[in-house]
Each structure stands twice: as C-alpha cells, then as structure tokens.
Amino acid sequence: MVNQKNQGANIWVESLQTIGLSVVLALGIRQFVAEARYIPTGSMEPTLQVNDRLVVEKLSYYFNSPERGDIVVFWPPAELTPEGQPRNAFIKRIVGLPGDTVEVSDGQVFINDEPIEESYIKAPPNYEWGPETVPTESYLVFGDNRNNSVDSHAWREPFLPEDQIIGKAVVRFWPPSRVGLLNRD
C-alpha cells in the first residue's frame, strides 16, 4: 500500500520542480532567445506605430553581423538617460555599417557617396549631417520618422557600439490588423 503522506509530499516537490523549471526556461528564453517589446513613440513611423507589439530575436547576431535595413533594439548612449531614471531601450533602423561613410544632405542619405533608396521613411530628413565614417564594431542608426527621432544624427557620439544591440525586431504581433514580419525595406 502507498503511503498517503509520502505521496502528498511528492506532489508538492514535483509541483515546485515544474514551476522552478518553467521560471528558469522563461527567463532563459527572454535573456538569450527572444522577448516581446512595445513601441512607445512615433520615431519609427510609418513602419512601426505607437503601441505596436513586436518580437525581438536575440540569436542571429551571435552568428551574423547586423545588416543595413535591420530594425534593432538597443541600449542608447548613457547621456540620453536622465540621472536616477531607468535606461530604456530604443528601436531604430541600421543605416550605416562599419567602414561606411555616411552623409545626410539635401533630404537624402548617402552611403559612400551613393544615395540610398528609403521607401520606408515618413519624410526626407530636413537636416544636414556628416560625412562621418562608421568605426569598426559600430553602426549608424536612424528612425524611419527622420525628423522626429532621437537617433545617431542627434547624439553627441553618433555611433552605436555593436555590444549595445539587444536584438533584431522580426515580427509584429499586435495589433491583429498589422500582424506580420518586419522587412528591411
């Protein structure tokens, strides 16, 4: 005959083990694989709208470098976080790769003296910037809403170090009417 007292204790131990494993897996997935993020500002309009919900994957940049056009979530320069406030992640599009010379002139972005096609921006930039060469292991990032985005063109040190990139935005899952993959162009 099975001891009822031991069976009750086993249920509690198994339940705690299951809950513990679930918590460890959830935290591990969020830390190393993917996480959900929401869009708090209009800096990426029209591609991303305020309150869109996204999945940001974190694995691909362990194996491949970011590419021009990728939409990335990253830790912004410390200068942008008021003292005593939490440091919030930013989301922008990679425009300049390591070694690229980037310039913004007459409403157009130039990479290595060649204009780039940007069908995803809200409006042409109304500012002049550069030319500047992107350092090794760094990137230049701009919001798609170029004229309303705190991005590389507005930072004191304009380049995003690669080690500050959290991950790549890959899919929008909310609102239901806008569910889909996020493309580079």
Confirm whether 92 is a catalytic residue: yes
The answer to whether residues 18 and 49 belong to one domain is no
Whole-angstrom Cα distance, residue 85 to residue 82? 6
At 62, is the pLDDT very low, low, confident or very high (cuts 50, 70, 90)?
confident
Residue 36: per-residue pLDDT: 84
Is residue 122 part of the annotated active site? The answer reads no
CA dist 45 and 166 (Å) reads: 21
User: Does the structure show a pLDDT above 60 at 7?
Assistant: no
Q: Which domain holds residue 10?
A: 1-32
Same domain for 22 and 93? no
Which of 12-21, 97-106, 143-152 bottoms out in mean pLDDT, i.e. has the lowest?
12-21
Find the CATH number of the domain harbouring 53: 2.10.109.10
Residues 24 and 45 in one domain: no
**Selected catalytic residue, list 15, 65, 92, 119:** 92
Q: What is the mean pLDDT of residues 135-144?
A: 97
Structure tokens at 5: 């007292």
Whether residue 100 sits in one domain with residue 73: yes
Residue 11 or residue 73, greater confidence: 73
Question: Cis before residue 131, ω within 30 degrees of 0?
Answer: yes
Average pLDDT over residues 16-24: 59
Query: What is the tally of structural domains in the chain?
Result: 2
Residue 24: predicted pLDDT: 52
The rounded distance, in Å, linking the Cα atoms of 143 and 20 is: 40
Across the range 67-86, mean pLDDT stands at 90
**18 burial type by CB count under 10 A (0-12 exposed, 13-18 middle, 19+ buried):** exposed
Residues 85 and 127 in one domain: yes
Say whether both 101 and 160 belong to one domain.
Answer: yes
Please give the angle made by the CA atoms of 48, 50 and 56, to the nearest 5 degrees.
55
State the residue for tokens 């491949």. 64
